[in-house]
Amino acid sequence: QDPTAAHYMFQDDPFLMPRNAANSRLFSLSKESGRNAAKYIIKQFPQYFDKTFSEPNIPCLMPDTLTPQIEGVSEEALKERIHLRRVKDSVDLFDQLIQAGTPVSLETTNSLLDLLCFYGDGESTPEKEEEEKEDLEEPGVNASEEKAPKRQLQRGSQSSGPRWRENNNAERIFKIMPERNAYSYCTMIRGMVKHGAHAKAYDMYVDLLNERHKADVHTFNALIAAVPYVKERFVERWELAKVFLNHMAQQEVQPNLLTFNALLKTLRRCGGVGRSMSLLVIKEMEALDIEPSLATYDHLLFMFYRGVDLCPSGIISEVLDDVEKRSFTAQDPDDGMDFNTLDNLHCLSCCDLKDIKLAYRLNKVMEKGDNWKFLNMDRLNAYWSKFFSLLCMMEQIDVVLKWYKEMSPSLFYPAPKNILDLLQALDAANHLEAIPSVWEADMKQLGFSRRRDLLEELLSLMSREQHPEEIQLEFAKCAEDIKAVYEQTGREQVPLDWTASALHHVTLLFSRAGRTQDAWYVKMMERFQQINRIPTDQVMDEFLTCAKRTNCPDEAVKVVKLAASLGLPSSQRLKSRTEKEFELSEEQK
């Protein structure tokens, strides 16, 4: 892998190679938006995409046939429209069949219920890849009996899809069905849970039991996931979840991975009860020989690592022991959520535990097989950003620079905080001679040259101490670039205002490099008066030393005049030093 290359998705168009994380996000979203726009055009105007002249003909690359081919009012036409996911057309055709007295088979009606329950009675659209994460926050005190706030429940139950309307088409068709089987009830239950009608789903399950039907495992999974929205007290939630588990045993329904993940997801909202029961759930999974997915570990870590005060250190090591043995594949929709196990583990090892060994172990897990695919581009960039911040904090500078060279920009685009961490690591290791390369190769290339906090930190580190002449000349070049940034004016750029500290640092750097004219004639010293700031004694002394080294008595006299005009206490001392160290003409005296 070429560490200097951008992500493969950008290599088709070198002009759009991103320079930083913001550009990377914008360009990747633009490409995806273009794909969605193309799909929309094909769907809206299928008549323009019906030519298949390609040679050789590759069916998987051809546009799908989205136009109904069967005309008239018949069950076959209804099946076709259901297959094409045309919700409104399917409902209209079903109503026409019923009005005409044509019976519709139970299988076809169930397929129509599937369509309506999946799309929530709305027209089919390209599904969002990431749904809004439920707010799984829990109150922190007396968790076994504390009530969860209703406002919080309502917020958590919101989904990105349409809500379940009262007496919608799914309910209407279900009521007029002459015959209903277990599949009909299960479909309705899952649709109600999916679209937020949790209480109705529970009532529908009671009707299913009254009709002496049995639910399937997917229905039980949906009911267990809906428990937090049906009961308020944490103990009541756990009791209802146990009722569903007992019903599964009575109906001889074998639980699967999604069952246990739904149960753990519910336990996340059961406070202390959830923490105490979660380990029993994991043991039950082991007894049934069901391997956990990333979502399983995510739910477990969430319950045990809500804060620094809840840190049973054994859990994270045990989770990591299991995770690093495996290469994961997606088995649960929550495996790909933003707050997944890889990111949670790294947050813990970086932010809370400060454990570099854990971070290295986790990094090996992330690079194993296709595990990295569980992190989208934003989360992958955030992962590497946290990893690099931990390296800057805990590792030797040679190791930090080696990782940085391999990571940027192929794996991540450094954020301003990463550059700040790198500067602080260079400072801690007394490796400040590398600062000019950071300025040239990173800050300017990444578009951070106008970040005031980074500029102040950079200037502060370069001007804090005296360095060998070679390094001072390099620092002066950086100072010249930064001065140009402050003085840069453009139609689309807001000029940066000079601060006293920035003027102080730039003047010192010019003075130490022997660039007297830059320090004075480019109005660095004069600018102190323009912005109503007073130069420090260090600035005045350094400038006077520079004037002496370059034999510029005129500049020395100007410094004394400036100090006198500003009424500085050091003006008399500067005057005496100038008379002693310079050969002055009568006029200068």
How far apart are alpha carbons 581 and 265 in whole angstroms?
Answer: 78
Q: Residue 490 carries which DSSP code?
A: B
Task: Give just the sign of the alpha carbon dihedral 107, 113, 115, 118.
Answer: negative
- For the record, the structure tokens of 543 come out as 């400038």
Domain assignment present for 482: no
The arithmetic mean of pLDDT across residues 418-445, rounded, is 91
3-state secondary structure 383-415: HHHHHHHHHHHHCCHHHHHHHHHHHCCCCCCCC
188, 174 in Cβ contact below 8 A?
Answer: yes
549, two tokens: 């080294």
Please, which pLDDT band fits residue 308 given cuts at 50, 70 and 90? Answer: very low
Residue 505 belongs to a domain: no
- For the ranges 135-149, 448-462, 499-513, which has the lowest average pLDDT? 135-149
In single-letter form, the type of residue at position 43 comes to K
Going by pLDDT thresholds of 50, 70 and 90, the confidence category of residue 424 is very high
pLDDT at 316: 79
User: Amino acid letter at 232?
Assistant: E
Write down the pLDDT at residue 306.
63
Closest CA to 257 of 302, 232, 288: 288
Is 499 contained in some domain?
A: no
Mean pLDDT comparison of 145-154, 250-259, 548-557, highest-scoring range: 250-259
Q: Name residues whose C-beta falls within 8 Å of residue 55's C-beta, 6 or more positions apart in sequence.
A: none
Res 518: pLDDT:
65
548 in any annotated domain: yes
DSSP 8-state code for residue 493: B
Least confident of 1-5, 479-483, 535-539: 1-5
Continuous H helices in 62-181: 75-83, 87-99, 106-119, 150-157, 169-176
CA separation for the pair 93, 74 (Å, rounded): 8
Q: How far apart are CA 356 and CA 56, in angstroms?
A: 54
Q: Which domain holds residue 556?
A: 534-588
Q: Is the pLDDT confidence value at 36 over 50?
A: yes
Mean of all residue pLDDT scores within the chain: 81
Which amino acid does the sequence have at 483? K
How does pLDDT run across 63-118, given as a tens digit for each residue? 667 778 888 899 999 999 999 888 999 999 999 999 999 999 999 999 999 999 99
* pLDDT tens string 574-586: 778 877 777 677 6
Q: What's the confidence (pLDDT) of residue 147?
A: 43
pLDDT of 521-531, one tens digit each?
445 566 666 66
pLDDT in tens, 392-418: 999 999 999 999 988 887 788 898 999
For 277-285, what is the mean pLDDT? 92
**In this structure, which amino acid lies at residue 360?**
Y
8 A C-beta contact, residue 400 and residue 425: yes
pLDDT computed for residue 240 by the predictor: 94
Residue closest to 95 by CA, chosen among 172, 186, 24, 12 = 172
pLDDT score at 535? 74
Contact 138, 266 (CB under 8 A): no
Q: Is the pLDDT of residue 541 over 70?
A: yes
Q: What is the pLDDT of residue 9?
A: 76
pLDDT of residue 382: 83
More confident residue, 564 or 385: 385
Please check whether residue 186 is in contact with residue 201, taking contact to mean a CB–CB distance below 8 angstroms: no
Tokens of 72: 């008239």
Residue 85 domain-assigned (yes or no): no
Domain total in the chain: 1
For range 448-465, the mean pLDDT: 90
In a domain, 229, yes or no: no
The answer to whether residue 139 sits within a structural domain is no
**Structural contact between residues 17 and 6, judged by C-beta atoms closer than 8 angstroms:** yes
> Could you tell me the maximum CA-CA distance found in the chain, to the nearest angstrom?
119
Of the ranges 205-214, 332-341, 562-571, which one carries the lowest mean pLDDT score? 332-341
Of the two residues 459 and 564, the one the predictor is more confident about is: 459
- Inside any domain, residue 240: no
For 47-71, write each residue's pLDDT tens digit. 787 776 777 878 777 766 777 888 8
Cα 100 to chain centroid distance, Å, stands at 54
Q: Does residue 26 or residue 202 have the better pLDDT?
A: 202
Residues belonging to the chain:
589
pLDDT of residue 123: 63
pLDDT at site 487 = 78
Residue 159 has pLDDT above 60, yes or no: no
Say what the pTM is.
0.74
Show Cβ contacts of residue 275 under 8 Å, excluding neighbours closer than 6 positions.
267, 303, 304
What are the tens digits of pLDDT across the range 167-220? 889 999 999 999 999 999 999 999 999 999 999 999 999 999 999 999 999 999
Burial of residue 188 (number of CB atoms within 10 Å: 0-12, 13-18, 19+): buried
